[in-house]
């Protein structure tokens, strides 16, 4: 149940950014940026999951958690949340989950402020 809810939240966020653009509430750059960074985030999670499976058999270089958090903080959190749930990657580490949700909250606050600021300039 929670898995589907989190995937739905992340997907709806991307959909709403596109809807906000079509209704002239935001610039085209916002949904494009969020979509691209979310796709990149999903791919990085998938790559790290693959490397995690390989690390059972041999020493491999993994993606640092701070890199995953940075991508989420910069706007790729919908892709991170979807990947975390679909791939079951980093979904049991409490500390990682807490930091991810802090990144999500910070990103939403920054996005809201920036959108308001730039809309008043135009």
Count of alpha carbons within 13 angstroms of residue 42, beta-carbon side = 15
Q: What angle do CA 93, 99, 102 make, to 5 degrees?
A: 140
Q: Please say if the pLDDT value at position 122 is more than 60.
A: no
Mean pLDDT, to the nearest integer, of 49-70?
Answer: 87
The pTM of this model reads 0.87
Tell me what pLDDT residue 26 has. 84
Condensed to tens digits (0 to 9), the pLDDT of residues 8-29 reads: 999 999 999 999 999 988 889 9
Q: Mean pLDDT across the stretch 93-118?
A: 88
Q: What is the DSSP string of 47-89?
A: HHHHHHHHTTTS--PPPPHHHHHHHIIIIIHHHHHHHHHHTT-
């Amino acid at each position: 149940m929670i898995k589907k809810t989190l995937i739905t939240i992340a997907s709806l966020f991307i959909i709403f950014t596109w809807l906000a653009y079509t209704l002239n509430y935001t610039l085209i750059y916002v949904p494009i940026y969020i979509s691209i960074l979310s796709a990149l985030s999903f791919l990085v999670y998938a790559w790290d999951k693959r490397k995690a499976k390989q690390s059972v058999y041999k020493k491999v270089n993994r993606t640092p958690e701070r890199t995953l958090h940075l991508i989420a903080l910069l706007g790729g959190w919908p892709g991170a949340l979807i990947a975390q749930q679909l791939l079951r990657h980093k979904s049991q580490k409490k500390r990682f989950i807490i930091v991810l949700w802090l990144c999500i909250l910070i990103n939403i606050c920054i996005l809201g402020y920036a959108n308001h600021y730039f809309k008043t300039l135009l």
